[in-house]
Amino acid sequence: MPKITIDDKTYDVAEGKTVLKVCLEQNIPVPYFCYHPRLSIAGNCRMCMVEIEGRPKLEISCNTLVQDGMVVRTTTPKAIEARKSVLEFILINHPLDCPICDQAGECDLQDQYFQFSAVPYRFREEKVHKPKAVPLGPLVMLDDERCIVCTRCVRFCDEVAKTHELGVAERGDHSTIVTFANEGMKNAYSLNTVDICPVGALTNRDFRFNKRVWFLKNTPSICAGCATGCNIWMDHQGDVIYRYRPRDNEAVNQSWMCDEGRLTYKFVNAPDRITSPYAQEAGGGWARLTWDAALKRLNAAFAKVPPAERGIVLSAQCSNEENTAWSRLASEQWKTSLLFGTWRQPSNPTQDNILRHADKNPNTRCLQELKCHREYTGGARLLIVLDTLTPEEATVVEKERPEFVVVLATNWGTDQDAVRWRPIARGLPISGGSCFPWADLVLPLATFAEQAGTFTNAKGMAQRFERAFPPKGEALPAWSIAEKVAGQ
C-alpha cells in the first residue's frame, strides 16, 4: 500500500486512487467543479490543483494517481493563489445574477468563492453574452451564461444515460451546451444533469422559481414511484413538497433517479387529498364525518359480519408497517383467511436496465412475504381496502356487493384507471375527480411523506423513510387506523 503525505500527515492508501479521492476521504478541503465521483475525469476546471514535491507545476489532484512516498501540499501559497485565480477566471464572464438564480444557496461556485477566494472583481470589460433560458429538454432549462463548461452534464449523458444527447459547441469563451441536432435532451434521467450542474446553468423546469432552497427542509426518504426504491431527499417547506433529489446509495441508485420518479411527489400536495373520513349517503353523495362517527359506523357493520367473513386488501403502495399491522389483525384477531393484496398496474409501465422498474409499486415484496392472495377475487361480506383497487378488482366488488366496504385512501383521484368511475362528486373537496362508488366509508390515509416506515424494494432490501411532516387534516397512517379498528 502506498504511503502518501498530504499537508504533513501520512496516510496509507490503496493503489490506484487519485490524490483528490484521498483528500476527500480524509476531509482535506480541496475544491473542484468538473470532478464527479461517478463520471470520468475531465480535468478541465483546474480548481483541484495541488503542489506535489518534485514536480515543477501544480497538478490537478483529480487525475494524479497516488505513488508511494508522494508528498502533497494543498495549502501552499501557490496552490491557494491558483484556486483564487481559477475562481476569478470563472467569474469574469459569469452573470453574477445570484439573486434571481435558482442555484443560489446550493451553488458550488457561490460557496467556493466565499471559501477560497473572496477577492475583489478586476474585470472591466464587457462580458461574453450567450443564450439564456434555452429549453434543453422537457424538464431542463439552460442558462448558458452561467455555465462554467465543466461538462458534467455532457459526461452524464454519455456515461450514465448513455444517450450522448449533449455536447459542447463553439470554442473558447463562446462554448455553449447543445443537444445533438437540436433535438432536445429527452432521456429518462435528464434531471440528474440539474443535480450535478455545479452552478445554475441547468435548472429543473418543474422546480425553478418555486422556492429559494434555503427555505427547504431535507428529509431522507425513498421514492415510491417503482420497485427500485431509489433513495431520495424529500425537499419540503412545511407540508408542501417541492422536489425530490437522489440521495447516494451505492447498492440501489448510486447518485441518480429517474425523471418519472422525481415528479411523483405531486400527489402529496394535490388538492384532492382526502383529509377526513367520508361516508357515502343513500342518495349517492358523500358526507364528511368525524373519526368517532366513522368508527361507530364501522362498528355497526362489524356487529353484523363475523370476523372470519371479513376481508382485507393490502397494498403494495403502503409501508411494511402498515401492511403488517392489517395482516396481523386479520390473522391474529379476526382469524380470517380473506387476506388479499393489490398492486397498481399501469398498462404500459416504463422500464429499463438503469433504474426504472416495470413494477410501479414501492413495496410489492412485502405483499409477497405476507403471503396474501395476489388480487381480490371476492368472498368477503365486509371488505377493508388499503389504497385503492384495480378496475378488475373493483368490478368484482361491484358485482358481489359486500355488505360494507371501507377504503383507506390518500387521494380521491390518484388512480388513473379509476377515472372510468366518474363519480358523484357532491360533497367532495374537488369537482369531477374519481372516487370510490363501491365504498361505504372512505378513511383518510397518510402518505409515506407523513409517516416513518420502510419499503422493501425489488432486490429485497428494506429501506427506511423518515416522516417529513405531520399528516394533512385528519389523515392517519394505515397502522394507526388498524390500531383504532382493532380496539373496537
Shortest separation between residue 59's beta carbon and another protein, angstroms: 10
Taking each helix axis from N to C end, the angle separating 291-304 and 478-486, rounded to the nearest 10 degrees, works out to 60
Stretch of 90-98, 99-107, 379-387, 435-443 contacting another protein, by CB under 8 A: 90-98
Residues 112-131 interacting with another protein (rule: CB under 8 A): 122-126, 128
Stretch of 131-139, 164-172, 355-363, 432-440 contacting another protein, by CB under 8 A: 164-172
Told to check if 158 binds another protein by CB under 8 A, we report no
Name which of 290, 102, 86 is nearest 194 in CA terms. Answer: 102
Which residues are 314's β-sheet partners?
341
C-alpha–C-alpha distance, residues 58 and 46, integer Å: 10
Cβ atoms of 204 and 196 closer than 8 Å: no
Told to check if 171 binds another protein by CB under 8 A, we report yes
Told to check if 90 binds another protein by CB under 8 A, we report yes
Residues 36-75 interacting with another protein (rule: CB under 8 A): 41-47, 49, 56-58, 60, 63
Shortest separation between residue 91's beta carbon and another protein, angstroms: 9
Cβ atoms of 233 and 257 closer than 8 Å: no
Q: Please, which residue, 56 or 99, has the CB nearer to another protein?
A: 56
C-alpha–C-alpha distance, residues 376 and 379, integer Å: 9
Q: Among 30, 86, 185, 380, which residue interacts with another protein (rule: CB under 8 A)?
A: 86
Q: 3-state DSSP call for residue 384? A: strand
Shortest separation between residue 350's beta carbon and another protein, angstroms: 32
Q: Among 19, 39, 149, 268, which residue interacts with another protein (rule: CB under 8 A)?
A: 149
SS (H, E, C) 388-448: CCCHHHHHHHHHHCCCEEEEEECECCCCHHHHHHCCCCCCCCCCCCCCCCCCCEEEEECCH
Q: Please, which residue, 42 or 191, has the CB nearer to another protein?
A: 42
Q: Among 13, 20, 148, 385, which residue interacts with another protein (rule: CB under 8 A)?
A: 148
Write the DSSP string, 15-51.
TT-BHHHHHHHTT-----SS--TTS-----S--SEEE
Please give the size of the binding site for another protein, defined by CB under 8 A.
Answer: 37
Supply 14's cell numbers.
490503496
Q: Among 15, 173, 248, 403, which residue interacts with another protein (rule: CB under 8 A)?
A: 173
> Which residues of this protein are in contact with another protein, per CB under 8 A?
41-47, 49, 56-58, 60, 63, 82, 85-86, 88-90, 92-93, 122-126, 128, 148-149, 167-168, 170-175
